[in-house]
Amino acid sequence: MAAPDPRRPAVIVDPFSSGGMYAPAFAAAGVPVVAVTSYPEVPAAYADSFRPADFTHVLGFDGDVERLVAQLRPLAPRCVLPGAESGVELADRLTERLHPETVNTPALAAARRDKGAMALAVRAAGLPGIRQICTDDRAEVENWLTAERLTGRDLVVKPPKSGSTDGVTRVPAGQDWRVPFDAQLGRTNQWRNLNDRMVVQEYALGTEYVVDTFSHGGRHTVADVCRYGKIDNGEQMAVYESLSWVAPTDPAVPVLTAYAEAVLDAVGFRYGAAHIEVMLTPEGPRLVEVNSRPHGGGHPDFCRTATGDSQLHRAVRWFTEGGSIPKGYRLLREMTVLFLIARSSGTIRNAAALAGVEQLASHHRSAVKLKDGDPVRATRDLLDTLQLGFVVLAHEDAQQIREDIAAVRRMEGELVIEAVDPAGPAGPADPGASAASAASAAQDGQDRPDGPDGAGQG
pLDDT in tens, 364-422: 999 988 899 999 888 776 667 667 889 999 999 999 999 999 999 999 999 998 987 65
Beta strand 10-13 with 79-82 is parallel
Distance CA 395, CA 225 (A): 17
- Same domain, yes or no, for 67 and 216? no
Lowest mean pLDDT among 69-73, 225-229, 435-439: 435-439
- Same domain, yes or no, for 29 and 165? no
Distance CA 43, CA 167 (A): 17
- Same domain, yes or no, for 145 and 270? no
Residue 302: its pLDDT value, please? 97
- Same domain, yes or no, for 75 and 179? no
Residue 445: its pLDDT value, please? 34
- Same domain, yes or no, for 183 and 217? no
| Pairwise pLDDT comparison (186 vs 96), residue with the higher score | 96
Residue 423: its pLDDT value, please? 54
Q: Say if 411 falls within a structural domain.
A: yes
Residue 196: its pLDDT value, please? 87
- Quick count: other Cβ atoms within 10 Å of Cβ 28? 11
- Same domain, yes or no, for 140 and 247? no
What is the pLDDT confidence band of residue 343, given thresholds at 50, 70 and 90?
confident
Number of domains composing the chain: 3
Sequence-distant (≥ 6) Cβ neighbours of residue 59 within 8 angstroms:
34, 35, 36, 37, 68, 71, 72
Residue 12: its pLDDT value, please? 98
Q: Say if 119 falls within a structural domain.
A: no
Residue 324: its pLDDT value, please? 86
Q: Examine the pLDDT at 458 and tell me if it is beyond 60.
A: no
| Pairwise pLDDT comparison (445 vs 305), residue with the higher score | 305
| Pairwise pLDDT comparison (452 vs 254), residue with the higher score | 254
- Same domain, yes or no, for 391 and 242? yes
Q: Give me the helices (H) in 232-353, please.
A: 252-266, 299-307, 311-320
- Of 155, 185, 202, the last residue of a domain is 202
Q: Say if 286 falls within a structural domain.
A: yes
Distance CA 204, CA 251 (A): 21
- Same domain, yes or no, for 152 and 286? no
Q: Examine the pLDDT at 191 and tell me if it is beyond 80.
A: no
Distances (CA, A) of 93 to 106, 334, 391, 441: 8, 39, 37, 44
Q: Say if 405 falls within a structural domain.
A: yes
- Of 184, 202, 220, the last residue of a domain is 202
- Same domain, yes or no, for 170 and 242? no
| Pairwise pLDDT comparison (240 vs 120), residue with the higher score | 120
- Asked whether the beta carbons of 360 and 394 are under 8 A apart, the reply is no
Q: Say if 125 falls within a structural domain.
A: no
Task: List 233's β-bridge partners, or say none.
Answer: 236
In terms of average pLDDT, the best of 225-239, 287-301, 378-392 is: 287-301
Q: Say if 3 falls within a structural domain.
A: no
Range of the domain at 177: 131-202
Distances (CA, A) of 396 to 32, 291, 332: 37, 30, 7
- Quick count: other Cβ atoms within 10 Å of Cβ 235? 14
Q: Say if 118 falls within a structural domain.
A: no
Q: Say if 410 falls within a structural domain.
A: yes
Distance CA 453, CA 458 (A): 14
CATH code of the domain containing 14: 3.40.50.720
- Of 52, 86, 103, the last residue of a domain is 103
pLDDT digit string, tens, across residues 27-68: 999 999 999 999 888 877 788 899 999 999 999 999 999 999
- Same domain, yes or no, for 384 and 251? yes
Q: Examine the pLDDT at 7 and tell me if it is beyond 90.
A: no
Q: Examine the pLDDT at 183 and tell me if it is beyond 70.
A: yes
CATH code of the domain containing 167: 3.30.1490.20
CATH code of the domain containing 375: 3.30.470.20
- Same domain, yes or no, for 424 and 313? yes
